[in-house]
Amino acid sequence: MAEAVRHDKTARQLRLLSDALDSGRLGPVRRLVNTLSPAEIGNLLESLPPGKRTVVWGLVDPEDDGEVLVHVGDEVREGLIADMDPDELVAAVEDLDIDDLADLVEDLPDTVIDEVLKSMDRENRERLEQVLSYDEDSAGRLMNPDVVTVRADTTVDVVLRYLRLRGELPEHTDHIYVVSKRHQYLGRIALQALLTHEPSTPINRLLDDEQPAIGVDETSEMVARQFSDHDWISAPVVDDNNILLGRITIDDVVDIIREQAEHQALGAAGLDEDEDLFSPVRRAFRNRLIWLGVNLGTAFLAASVVDRFAGSIEKLAALAVLMPIVAGMGGNAGTQVLALMVRGLALGQIGASNVPTLVWKEVRVALINGLALGAVLGIVVLLWFRSPALAAVIAIALTCNLCFAALGGVFVPVTLKRMGFDPALAGGVILTTITDVMGFLTFLGLATLVLLR
Amino acid sequence: MAEAVRHDKTARQLRLLSDALDSGRLGPVRRLVNTLSPAEIGNLLESLPPGKRTVVWGLVDPEDDGEVLVHVGDEVREGLIADMDPDELVAAVEDLDIDDLADLVEDLPDTVIDEVLKSMDRENRERLEQVLSYDEDSAGRLMNPDVVTVRADTTVDVVLRYLRLRGELPEHTDHIYVVSKRHQYLGRIALQALLTHEPSTPINRLLDDEQPAIGVDETSEMVARQFSDHDWISAPVVDDNNILLGRITIDDVVDIIREQAEHQALGAAGLDEDEDLFSPVRRAFRNRLIWLGVNLGTAFLAASVVDRFAGSIEKLAALAVLMPIVAGMGGNAGTQVLALMVRGLALGQIGASNVPTLVWKEVRVALINGLALGAVLGIVVLLWFRSPALAAVIAIALTCNLCFAALGGVFVPVTLKRMGFDPALAGGVILTTITDVMGFLTFLGLATLVLLR
Answer positive or negative: Cα dihedral of B79, B81, B84, B86: negative
The residue of B336, B341, B418, B440 whose CB has the most chain A CBs within 10 angstroms, and thus the best one to mutate to test that interface, is: B336
Please indicate if any CB of chain A lies within 8 Å of the CB of B288.
yes
Distance (Å, whole) CA B92 – CA B41: 15
The pLDDT score that the predictor gives to residue A9 is 62
Taking 90 as the threshold, does the pLDDT of residue A260 lie above it?
no
Distance (Å, whole) CA B93 – CA B116: 8
Distance (Å, whole) CA B84 – CA A355: 28
CA-nearest of B426, B401, B404, B403 to B413 is B426
The pLDDT score that the predictor gives to residue B19 is 77
Kindly state the DSSP code that residue B240 receives in the 8-state scheme. T
Amino acid letter, residue B444: L
- A109 in helix, strand or coil? coil
Helix axes B388-418, B423-451, angle to 10 degrees: 150
Tell me the nearest-neighbour CA distance from B243 into chain A, angstroms: 23
Query: B335 vs A279, B239, B407, B427, B428, CA distance in Å?
Result: 17, 42, 11, 9, 7
pLDDT in tens, A167-187: 889 888 999 999 999 999 999
Q: Which residues in chain A have Cβ-Cβ distances shorter than 8 Å to B265? A: 261, 264-265, 268, 339, 342-343, 424
Please report the residues numbered 209 through 268 in chain B whose beta carbons come closer than 8 angstroms to any beta carbon of chain A: 219, 221-222, 225, 227-231, 233, 250-251, 253-255, 257-258, 260-262, 264-266, 268
pLDDT in tens, B300-315: 999 999 999 999 999 9
Could A10 and B347 be called an inter-chain contact, meaning their C-beta atoms sit closer than 8 Å?
yes
Distance (Å, whole) CA A12 – CA B348: 8
- Bin A187: left if φ > 0, else alpha if -120 < ψ < 50, else beta: left
Q: What is the mean pLDDT of residues A402-422?
A: 94
Distance (Å, whole) CA A362 – CA A368: 10
Q: What is the mean pLDDT of residues A132-136?
A: 88
Taking 90 as the threshold, does the pLDDT of residue B430 lie above it?
yes
- In percent, the amount of chain B with pLDDT more than 70 equals 98
- Bin B242: left if φ > 0, else alpha if -120 < ψ < 50, else beta: left
Distance (Å, whole) CA A301 – CA A175: 59
Q: What is the mean pLDDT of residues A153-160?
A: 93
Q: Which of B10, B229, B417 sits opposite A349 (nearest CB)?
A: B10
Q: Which residue of B has its CA nearest to A136?
A: B2
The pLDDT score that the predictor gives to residue B4 is 34
Query: B44 vs B57, B208, B277, CA distance in Å?
Result: 10, 42, 12
Taking 80 as the threshold, does the pLDDT of residue B16 lie above it?
no
Amino acid letter, residue B198: E
Taking 60 as the threshold, does the pLDDT of residue A318 lie above it?
yes
pLDDT band per the 50, 70, 90 thresholds, residue A2: very low
pLDDT in tens, B75-126: 889 889 988 888 888 888 888 888 888 888 888 888 888 888 888 888 888 8
Q: At a CB cut-off of 8 Å and minimum separation 6, what does B262 contact?
A: A343, B273
Taking 70 as the threshold, does the pLDDT of residue B433 lie above it?
yes
pLDDT in tens, A54-93: 989 999 998 899 999 998 988 889 889 988 888 888 888 8
The pLDDT score that the predictor gives to residue B10 is 62
CA-nearest of A410, A413, A376, A415 to A395 is A376
pLDDT in tens, B24-66: 778 888 888 888 888 889 988 988 888 889 989 989 998 899 9
Under 8 Å CB pairs connecting chains A and B tally to 421
Q: At a CB cut-off of 8 Å and minimum separation 6, what does B392 contact?
A: B378, B450
Contact B78/B107 with Cβ under 8 angstroms? yes
Helix axes B38-46, B62-71, angle to 10 degrees: 70
Distance (Å, whole) CA A270 – CA A289: 9
Distance (Å, whole) CA A208 – CA A206: 6
Please indicate if any CB of chain B lies within 8 Å of the CB of A382.
no
pLDDT band per the 50, 70, 90 thresholds, residue A44: confident
The pLDDT score that the predictor gives to residue B60 is 92
pLDDT in tens, A217-254: 999 988 998 998 888 999 999 999 999 999 999 988 99
Distance (Å, whole) CA B271 – CA B286: 10
The pLDDT score that the predictor gives to residue A7 is 43
Please report the residues numbered 89 through 118 in chain B whose beta carbons come closer than 8 angstroms to any beta carbon of chain A: none
Q: What is the mean pLDDT of residues B120-142?
A: 88
Q: At a CB cut-off of 8 Å and minimum separation 6, what does B50 contact?
A: B79, B278, B280
Distance (Å, whole) CA B413 – CA B435: 15
Please indicate if any CB of chain A lies within 8 Å of the CB of B343.
yes
Q: Which residues in chain A have Cβ-Cβ distances shorter than 8 Å to B262? A: 343
Could A174 and B172 be called an inter-chain contact, meaning their C-beta atoms sit closer than 8 Å?
yes
- B143 in helix, strand or coil? coil
Q: Where are the alpha helices (DSSP H) in A120-249?
A: 122-132, 139-142, 156-166, 191-196, 203-206, 220-230
The residue of A365, A387, A410 whose CB has the most chain B CBs within 10 angstroms, and thus the best one to mutate to test that interface, is: A365
- B217 in helix, strand or coil? coil
Please indicate if any CB of chain B lies within 8 Å of the CB of A167.
yes
Domains in chain B, please, with CATH? 2-135 (1.25.60.10), 149-251 (3.10.580.10), 281-451 (1.10.357.20)
Q: Which of B221, B299, B313 sits opposite A317 (nearest CB)?
A: B313
Could A292 and B373 be called an inter-chain contact, meaning their C-beta atoms sit closer than 8 Å?
yes
The residue of A198, A255, A262, A313 whose CB has the most chain B CBs within 10 angstroms, and thus the best one to mutate to test that interface, is: A313
Distance (Å, whole) CA B438 – CA B266: 27
Contact B440/B308 with Cβ under 8 angstroms? no
Taking 90 as the threshold, does the pLDDT of residue B268 lie above it?
no
The pLDDT score that the predictor gives to residue B115 is 84
Contact A319/A448 with Cβ under 8 angstroms? no
Please indicate if any CB of chain B lies within 8 Å of the CB of A338.
yes
Please indicate if any CB of chain A lies within 8 Å of the CB of B355.
no
Distance (Å, whole) CA B14 – CA B38: 15
Contact A334/A342 with Cβ under 8 angstroms? no
pLDDT in tens, B207-254: 998 888 999 999 998 899 899 888 899 999 999 999 999 999 998 899
CA-nearest of B327, B318, B298 to B386 is B318
Distance (Å, whole) CA B14 – CA B16: 6
Q: Which of A321, A332, A344 sits opposite B277 (nearest CB)?
A: A344
CA-nearest of B164, B172, B129 to B147 is B172
Amino acid letter, residue B328: G
Distance (Å, whole) CA A73 – CA A77: 6
Please indicate if any CB of chain A lies within 8 Å of the CB of B311.
yes
Mean pLDDT of chain A: 89
Distance (Å, whole) CA A175 – CA A187: 10
CA-nearest of B104, B143, B102, B147 to B125 is B102
Contact A212/A187 with Cβ under 8 angstroms? no
Kindly state the DSSP code that residue A106 receives in the 8-state scheme. G
pLDDT in tens, B281-338: 888 888 888 889 999 999 999 999 999 999 999 999 999 999 999 999 999 999 999 9
Is the model more confident about B360 or about A352? B360
CA dihedral B197, B198, B199, B201 (to 10 degrees): -80
CA-nearest of B65, B68, B107, B67 to B88 is B65
Q: Which of A43, A281, A347 sits opposite B368 (nearest CB)?
A: A281
Distance (Å, whole) CA A338 – CA A409: 5
Q: What is the mean pLDDT of residues B190-206?
A: 93
Q: Which of B225, B265, B338 sits opposite A339 (nearest CB)?
A: B265
Rg (CA), chain B: 29
Q: Is A236 exposed, middle or buried (CB count within 10 Å of its CB: 0-12, 13-18, 19+)?
A: buried
The pLDDT score that the predictor gives to residue B424 is 84
- B249 in helix, strand or coil? strand
Please indicate if any CB of chain A lies within 8 Å of the CB of B205.
no
Contact B214/B235 with Cβ under 8 angstroms? yes
ipTM, two decimals: 0.85
Taking 70 as the threshold, does the pLDDT of residue A345 lie above it?
yes
The pLDDT score that the predictor gives to residue A131 is 87
